[in-house]
Chains A and B, each alone.
Chain A
Amino acid sequence: MTLKRLFFLRTSLLLASAGITVPIGQSAIASSPPASRTTGIKVVFNRDIRPILSDNCFACHGPDKNKRQANLRLDQPNPAIVPGSPNASELIKRIVLAPADAASMPPASFHKKLTAAQISLMKRWVQEGAVYQKHWAYELPVKAQVPASSNAVDYLVHARLASIGLPVSPPADRRTIIRRLYFDLIGLPPTSQEVAAFVADKSPKAYTNLVERLLANTHYGERMAQGWLDVVRFADTIGYHSDNPRNIWPYRDYVINSFNTNKRFDRFTREQLAGDLLPDANQESRVGSAFNRLLLTTEEGGAQAKDYEARYLTDRVRSLGTVWLGQTTGCCQCHDHKFDPLRTRDFYTLGAFFADVDEAIIGGREPGMLVPSAEQSKTLQVKTDAIASLKKSFDGAIPAEFAAAKASWDSNLHKTALLRQMWRWMTPSASAATNGVQLVPQPDGSILATGPNPDKTIYTVDVAAVGSIGGVQIETLPDASLPQRGPGRAGNGNFVITEVIAQAVNAAGAVRNLPFGSAQATFEQAVIAEANPYRLWSASSTIDGDQKGEEWGWAILPNAGKPQSLILALKQAAVLAAGEKLQIIIKQNHGAAHNLGRFRIAVTESKDTAEAPLNALPADIALAASKDVSKRTVAETDRMIAYFKEASPEFAPLRKQIVDAQKSRDDYEASIPRCLISVHRSTPRTVRVLPRGNWMDETGDVVQPATPAFLPGVTGGTRLDLANWIVSRQNPLPARTVMNRLWKQFFGNGLSKVLEDLGAQGEPPANPALLDYLACEFMDSGWDIKHMVRLIVNSNVYRQTSIATPLQMQKDPYNREYARQGRFRLDAEEIRDNALSVSGLLSLTIGGPSVKPYQPDRYWDNLNFPVRDYVPDKGDSQYRRGIYTWWQRSFLHPSMLAFDAPSREECAADRGRSNIPQQALVLLNDPSYVEADRAFAVRAVKECTGTPEQRISWMWNQALQRQPTTAELKTVMSIYRDRLAEYQKSPEAAKSLLSVGFAPLPADCNPPELAALTHTARIVMNLHETITRE
């Protein structure tokens, strides 16, 4: 670029930015030249005046009744304007005053000033009768008449260009056109063969055939999904604070698939807003309804449900505005819209449509709905059926061959059960306690502790006339008088028995110790056991001689309020002589008044009874088994049969088969993707108007679902009603909003530049007839997206060159009139896809869980709860298309971010296109790109056997589908030679470069040569041309 051209460009921009834009015809087919400063052309309110009033006046004299000054509203006829008489109009008088004048408008404190050109336009508008119009976007679109032989885009753009005197551009060359079409329709570059074939195809249908081929290509859905995923803010993580993952990727595949199958946009809309409520709701439509779950959510401790309930509502209403309505609804969270007729009430009534979406407001992680493929559904059913079939055999009669086994099993159980019954409950003959506790015998033979509850205590209980003894049972019992009903006297109902001693005492007081050999209990406390040397409040610590400290013993938290038993078997069975009594000493030395409240004591003669595993038999089995077979009830007999199946070795193989089948099914189910979806709850949350958006203020009206008053009404209050309202022919906004965004994909900017705002503060479309035509045709075609894409890309306007003439740069620097094509940098995803495709690394797999390309170490250091490691994927998953990159909202992959991929924390209708040094760093140094460079070099060596010059030319042809110019080849060859010399001197450096990335190197490579070629690959991959869609 020359200096002269640079200055020329600046001058043209100054003109443009001074507000002297080329004015816009209300109808593109209007034969009249533009209004501009030329006199004699009628000033049009929507085109010329509304933008001035909206930007400078409506804040105080507009739709917001709460901020309205002097009761004057300038968005409709008013006393400050006398049609036909600028001089009699207070409005005009005020705007021409010097800013210093206190009466001047806008007031100095507002920091706004009208330009001379704007004032002049205002005067002329009043002079010409001050005719108001409804805002353009709120009028139903009107379809212009287009001759049947014409492509409507061509007809309407050419008409407009003729009216403003801009010539159309010639078509781009065929190479550029096919590259453009590939990037625009499938997001991938054509191969050099595809380009050559297209260039050589002289058929008049060559181009339209190419369009059809690409529309049918399965990568079309991926390309189209990209913009949709931005605008709906699809991401893999929740967004706020911990930014943890969520199961949502099936929604991404749903979007890709919807575009590929050309799902009609009205259906697409209904599925996303209300896929769960459709009369024909199915798995696909329910996955579509994940749309309602794409918002930011939180798991932060201390977050308040009402606060976040309000955030979620506002997030959803903003998204509705951005995705379908082209309205900045967010303003109305706190106040009536200052520029558009949307009121605060409308904001909350829109939000009320979503009050039925079932969700945990704070920190509710949901696995989501299973989303099996047809194949997976089938397999899951087979596995489920297998379990049912095994269970059926299990539930049938016991096979005859097991009859003998069953009989012997019964008999063994009978013996065991009888053994267990050999406990005798004893009534103590005496009892005493230390430290003031009073032990009160109860009528049932148990003992209740009353009176003071000291820090520690020891109970001594005497039992007379025992005879033979093999074991002692202490059953601890609940009692209404105890805290938490006991059995302990501690505040939580707990106790700690620290040691139990049994001894025989004769009449003379001689003591014979009866040592215990084993201990068990019905339950042992495992909680709060960190400091306990046994890590358990175990039965065995009551007979350990306090070897690990006297404070440790048996306890039962959290099972307060229930009976439990401690069973102690003597080391050796003993016989008490006549006159000897049994004395049981129960020590409670834990402290903190963890003393026993109520208990009773049993003894057994049989050591076997005390040692019989306590939980070996369920209680009901123990009871049934203790009876003779003939005396069991029918239920008991059945229970014994069931127990035989549950526990006998004969049934073990069948039981294992069932367990294995269940595990196999469960594991398989766990491998099936899941997706958050919308689920309707029958009692919707209450929605109130929040005064000034303040969720703590509950004085606002409770509202029901309703659509904004200024648009046609809705019938009904469900999300499905809302969806139907959006795709109603009577709604002027959605078709325009969607077509405006679609246009940007194919020309680089929207027909109305502000994609998310078709309201007063947006930009009236440069060519309103064209936008209206597209909107009408979209609806007339049955909301057929492919039809609209076809209409646009088959136009000559689309096929024009993107090289601007000086006249175009002067008259239309921003290309708002489309007298040429746009040229713009590829999106982040396409830049990656292009490099991987050219290098031969790209995996073309469609769909599946998001993937993790290489990412700088420690990039996630600022994430927490939990801290996270980033592990890059291996194999095929490392080389997937950019659309599948793991979308971490708070730390989006940095090379995606560098190329303007949005974090998707908010809906992004209009992705920016910046040009920043980080982009150079990414393309030069990111391992993904360096690996692509070296893989490209390997391809060159393998696929092109020739001189270095030929290989470089081959590379050019692969990456750009053209030959290098002599100058280009000379520059790159010099790099190749210099690097080759350098790497021949230090082959280690060559190997080091070639080791970037996981892709294997061919064993027979020549490292210096390959490394030098990697540099040439790097150069072509970094070219502006390579990353530009021209």
Chain B
Amino acid sequence: MELADELASRMSRRAFLGRAAAGVGAAALASLDSAQAQIPGLVTLPQKAKRVIWLTMAGGPSHLETFDPKPVLAQMHGKPMPESFTKGQQIAQLQGQKLICFGPQHGFASFGKNKTQICELFPNIGSVLDDICLVRSMTTDAINHDPAHMFMNTGAQIAGRPSMGAWITYGLGSVSKDLPGFVVLTSLGQGGQNQPIAARQWSNGFLPSKYQGVQLRAKGDPVLYLASPTGVSQTGQQADIQAINSLNRIHDSVTGDPEINTRIAQYELAFKMQASVPALMDISQEKKETLELYGCHPGDGSFASNCLLARRLAERGVRFIQLYHKDWDHHGDIKEGIRLKALEIDRACMALITDLKQRGMLEETLVVWAGEFGRTPMSQGGSGRDHHNKAMSVWLAGAGIKGGMVYGATDDLGYAAVENLTTVHDLHATMLNRLGIKHEAFTYKFQGLDARLVGVEPCKVLADIIA
């Protein structure tokens, strides 16, 4: 192997996404080095999770029809919401309207060794509840979709902050040879309440752009511009890239521009991705039992397929895998809406946990299920629920999280978290803890500040849910 080739391939092993958007010259190579290994001194705690799979239930799932049973709310159904709960609190679409209690629209049943009550529409999740820690006392600051997603993803409501996937890839680097460190997949629900999701939700923000989330798409090129132009054979593509790199090397010998080596590595990596990404996406290679476990069909673009892809990405060393499943915005007909969502996600979530566990990967993978906010115990239009930020349910699994546990509680009507109140920053801190990182110490200099994913206000690791 030629020296230059060796260097280039060494770099492509280290780097998925080249160098920082910052300096010129020597800085380039050095930052490439330091970034791809994890940041020295960052991991000071036992590293229980090597990666994160974050299942974003976009639209704001109702905790009252999923994981938070409220029999008292059922008794109060149709009665005015006591003003003591709601006075002076943020309200979205129910502003200025009469607030009426709206009882849970589905029954609850007991699952797991602790006989934990969850909505009966989720029996598959129930069957793995002993691997899951439910957090019923989650809260957030924002009450509209866009800012609430930003807050859940970046810890801030202002655009331009890095998403948690970018933070973690920046901190821990990526071990994948030919895939990005931060991958995003989206799927739609059948209910049609598919809220828009902006690309800023997986932005690198002020971190170098190599840490941005790369969206893998079910339809069209899985990665934008991945396919060679029509009429260009694989040989033709490879020969062109080799020629480009060879000419760039000649130019390097004249100019000594250190950017050129990175450029060469990126062309090689791009070519590798042209093969590796389609192979990754081809779930027809999976065993029949596995496809059945998830309940998905190759190419269907479903949440279940994305869960299976998440496992494949995890196997390939991707650091942060984020799935968005939309259609949880149940302002109306929540009864039917939740039923559809359950059909789409219940089995897939169970399959992901089961599959990871069977492969011995659950212990080193943190799985998080969360929306961007919860929903009101008050009715909207007599059949739905409005956005709500005082209470929501999320769950975590794997990476030494205590299974079968319920953490925190809301009041009798499910309006506000009252026991072990948990914030978005707490959730981020807990995730970082599982990755071996002290959340206060994980900073990046931006606009003169030591910016943190967890923000500047004190927050806590949820120590009680860690085994």
Instruction: Decide: B269 and A917 in contact? CB cutoff 8 A.
Output: yes
Q: Looking at the complex, which one of A813, A905, A925 makes contact with B25 (CB distance below 8 Å)? A: A813
**CA of A192 to CA of B263, assembled, Å:** 26
Instruction: Decide: B159 and A13 in contact? CB cutoff 8 A.
Output: no
**CA of A889 to CA of B201, assembled, Å:** 12
| Residues in B whose Cβ lies below 8 Å from that of A903 | 159, 199-200, 203
* Chain B residue nearest in CB terms to A974: B243
Q: What is the minimal beta-carbon distance from B86 to any residue of chain A, in angstroms?
A: 13
A400-428 interface with B by 8 A CB criterion: none
Q: What is the minimal beta-carbon distance from B374 to any residue of chain A, in angstroms?
A: 14
Asked whether A161 is an interface residue with its Cβ less than 8 Å from the other chain, the reply is no
* Chain A residue nearest in CB terms to B198: A890
Instruction: Decide: A14 and B30 in contact? CB cutoff 8 A.
Output: yes
Asked whether B3 is an interface residue with its Cβ less than 8 Å from the other chain, the reply is yes
| Residues in A whose Cβ lies below 8 Å from that of B240 | 924, 975, 1015, 1018-1019, 1022
Asked whether B239 is an interface residue with its Cβ less than 8 Å from the other chain, the reply is yes
| Residues in A whose Cβ lies below 8 Å from that of B53 | none
Asked whether B110 is an interface residue with its Cβ less than 8 Å from the other chain, the reply is no
- Asked if A914 meets B209 with Cβ closer than 8 Å, knowing A10-B33, A864-B195, the reply is yes
Q: What is the minimal beta-carbon distance from B27 to any residue of chain A, in angstroms?
A: 6
**CA of A302 to CA of B148, assembled, Å:** 13
Asked whether B270 is an interface residue with its Cβ less than 8 Å from the other chain, the reply is yes
| Residues in A whose Cβ lies below 8 Å from that of B231 | 988-996, 1011
B82-103 interface with A by 8 A CB criterion: 88, 90-93, 95
* Chain A residue nearest in CB terms to B32: A915
Asked whether A894 is an interface residue with its Cβ less than 8 Å from the other chain, the reply is yes
Instruction: Decide: A925 and B229 in contact? CB cutoff 8 A.
Output: yes
**CA of A109 to CA of B441, assembled, Å:** 9
Q: What is the minimal beta-carbon distance from B190 to any residue of chain A, in angstroms?
A: 15
Q: What is the minimal beta-carbon distance from A480 to any residue of chain B, in angstroms?
A: 28
Asked whether B197 is an interface residue with its Cβ less than 8 Å from the other chain, the reply is yes
**CA of A815 to CA of B252, assembled, Å:** 19
Asked whether A2 is an interface residue with its Cβ less than 8 Å from the other chain, the reply is yes
**CA of A125 to CA of B226, assembled, Å:** 57
Asked whether B305 is an interface residue with its Cβ less than 8 Å from the other chain, the reply is no
Asked whether B262 is an interface residue with its Cβ less than 8 Å from the other chain, the reply is yes
Interface segment, one of B73-81, B217-225, B339-347, B411-419: B217-225
Asked whether A919 is an interface residue with its Cβ less than 8 Å from the other chain, the reply is yes
Interface segment, one of A239-247, A726-734, A845-853: A239-247
| Residues in A whose Cβ lies below 8 Å from that of B223 | 918, 921
Asked whether B48 is an interface residue with its Cβ less than 8 Å from the other chain, the reply is no
Residue-wise, chain A 305-316 has the 8 Å CB interface mask toward B (1 for contact) of 001000000100
Q: What is the minimal beta-carbon distance from A824 to any residue of chain B, in angstroms?
A: 6
Asked whether A762 is an interface residue with its Cβ less than 8 Å from the other chain, the reply is yes
Chain A interface size band reads 35 or more
**CA of A124 to CA of B7, assembled, Å:** 44
**CA of A845 to CA of B7, assembled, Å:** 45
Q: Looking at the complex, which one of A813, A815, A1019 makes contact with B244 (CB distance below 8 Å)? A: A1019
**CA of A389 to CA of B258, assembled, Å:** 72
Residue-wise, chain B 237-258 has the 8 Å CB interface mask toward A (1 for contact) of 1011101101110111001111
Asked whether B448 is an interface residue with its Cβ less than 8 Å from the other chain, the reply is yes
* Chain B residue nearest in CB terms to A910: B21
| Residues in B whose Cβ lies below 8 Å from that of A1018 | 240
Asked whether A144 is an interface residue with its Cβ less than 8 Å from the other chain, the reply is no
**CA of A818 to CA of B393, assembled, Å:** 56
Q: What is the number of contacts between chain A and chain B, taking CB atoms within 8 Å?
A: 301
Asked whether B216 is an interface residue with its Cβ less than 8 Å from the other chain, the reply is no
Instruction: Decide: A814 and B25 in contact? CB cutoff 8 A.
Output: yes
B10-29 interface with A by 8 A CB criterion: 16-29
Q: Looking at the complex, which one of B196, B247, B256 makes contact with A890 (CB distance below 8 Å)? A: B196
| Residues in A whose Cβ lies below 8 Å from that of B267 | 917, 920, 1022
Instruction: Decide: A9 and B200 in contact? CB cutoff 8 A.
Output: no
Interface segment, one of B111-119, B139-147, B353-361, B395-403: B139-147
Instruction: Decide: B257 and A242 in contact? CB cutoff 8 A.
Output: no
| Residues in B whose Cβ lies below 8 Å from that of A890 | 196, 198-200
* Chain B residue nearest in CB terms to A340: B448
Asked whether B386 is an interface residue with its Cβ less than 8 Å from the other chain, the reply is yes
Residue-wise, chain B 270-285 has the 8 Å CB interface mask toward A (1 for contact) of 1101000000000000
Asked whether A574 is an interface residue with its Cβ less than 8 Å from the other chain, the reply is no
Q: Looking at the complex, which one of B232, B257, B271 makes contact with A1024 (CB distance below 8 Å)? A: B257
Instruction: Decide: A916 and B441 in contact? CB cutoff 8 A.
Output: no
* Chain A residue nearest in CB terms to B199: A891
Instruction: Decide: B209 and A912 in contact? CB cutoff 8 A.
Output: yes
Residue-wise, chain B 26-60 has the 8 Å CB interface mask toward A (1 for contact) of 11111001000000000000000000000000000
Asked whether B9 is an interface residue with its Cβ less than 8 Å from the other chain, the reply is no
Asked whether A3 is an interface residue with its Cβ less than 8 Å from the other chain, the reply is yes
Q: Looking at the complex, which one of B21, B88, B441 makes contact with A912 (CB distance below 8 Å)? A: B21
* Chain B residue nearest in CB terms to A920: B270
**CA of A738 to CA of B7, assembled, Å:** 41
| Residues in B whose Cβ lies below 8 Å from that of A862 | 186, 196-199
Instruction: Decide: B257 and A823 in contact? CB cutoff 8 A.
Output: yes
Asked whether A1003 is an interface residue with its Cβ less than 8 Å from the other chain, the reply is no
| Residues in A whose Cβ lies below 8 Å from that of B95 | 302, 304
Asked whether B421 is an interface residue with its Cβ less than 8 Å from the other chain, the reply is no
Instruction: Decide: B159 and A239 in contact? CB cutoff 8 A.
Output: yes
Instruction: Decide: B27 and A13 in contact? CB cutoff 8 A.
Output: yes
Instruction: Decide: B226 and A979 in contact? CB cutoff 8 A.
Output: no
A890-904 interface with B by 8 A CB criterion: 890-892, 894-895, 897, 900, 903
Instruction: Decide: B257 and A921 in contact? CB cutoff 8 A.
Output: no
* Chain A residue nearest in CB terms to B221: A856
A10-35 interface with B by 8 A CB criterion: 10, 12-14, 16-17
Residue-wise, chain A 966-982 has the 8 Å CB interface mask toward B (1 for contact) of 01100110110011001
* Chain A residue nearest in CB terms to B17: A916
* Chain A residue nearest in CB terms to B91: A304
**CA of A972 to CA of B239, assembled, Å:** 10
Q: What is the minimal beta-carbon distance from B326 to any residue of chain A, in angstroms?
A: 8
- Asked if A858 meets B29 with Cβ closer than 8 Å, knowing A916-B266, A917-B16, the reply is no
| Residues in A whose Cβ lies below 8 Å from that of B33 | 10
Q: What is the minimal beta-carbon distance from A879 to any residue of chain B, in angstroms?
A: 18
Asked whether A863 is an interface residue with its Cβ less than 8 Å from the other chain, the reply is yes
Asked whether B440 is an interface residue with its Cβ less than 8 Å from the other chain, the reply is yes
Asked whether A336 is an interface residue with its Cβ less than 8 Å from the other chain, the reply is no
Q: What is the minimal beta-carbon distance from B434 to any residue of chain A, in angstroms?
A: 20
Q: What is the minimal beta-carbon distance from B195 to any residue of chain A, in angstroms?
A: 6
Q: Looking at the complex, which one of B158, B203, B220, B263 makes contact with A915 (CB distance below 8 Å)? A: B263
- Asked if A924 meets B228 with Cβ closer than 8 Å, knowing A825-B259, A865-B196, A1024-B248, the reply is yes
Instruction: Decide: B225 and A894 in contact? CB cutoff 8 A.
Output: yes
Asked whether A829 is an interface residue with its Cβ less than 8 Å from the other chain, the reply is no
- Asked if A241 meets B144 with Cβ closer than 8 Å, knowing A975-B239, A992-B231, the reply is yes
| Residues in A whose Cβ lies below 8 Å from that of B447 | 328, 330-331, 754, 756-757, 761
- Asked if A300 meets B146 with Cβ closer than 8 Å, knowing A762-B448, A975-B239, A1024-B251, the reply is yes
* Chain B residue nearest in CB terms to A926: B225
Q: Looking at the complex, which one of A17, A992, A1024 makes contact with B230 (CB distance below 8 Å)? A: A992
**Could you show 21 A-B contacts with beta carbons less than 8 Å apart?**
A1-B4, A1-B252, A301-B92, A301-B93, A754-B448, A762-B448, A814-B27, A823-B255, A824-B24, A856-B221, A864-B195, A890-B198, A916-B17, A917-B18, A920-B241, A921-B273, A924-B270, A975-B240, A988-B231, A1023-B251, A1024-B263
Give 7 nearest A-B pairs by CB, closest first.
A761-B448, A912-B21, A993-B231, A302-B92, A890-B198, A992-B231, A920-B270
Residues of A at the B interface (CB closer than 8 Å) are 1-3, 5-6, 9-10, 12-14, 16-17, 54, 109, 111, 239-243, 296, 298, 300-304, 307, 314, 328, 330-331, 338-339, 696, 748-749, 754, 756-757, 759-762, 803-804, 809, 813-815, 822-825, 856-859, 861-865, 889-892, 894-895, 897, 900, 903, 905-906, 912-922, 924-927, 930, 965, 967-968, 971-972, 974-975, 978-979, 982, 988-996, 1011, 1015, 1018-1019, 1022-1025, 1028, 1030
- Taking A859-B224, A920-B269 as known contacts, 7 extra A-B pairs with beta carbons closer than 8 A to each other, sorted by chain A number, are A241-B195, A242-B196, A307-B143, A759-B448, A913-B21, A996-B230, A1023-B244
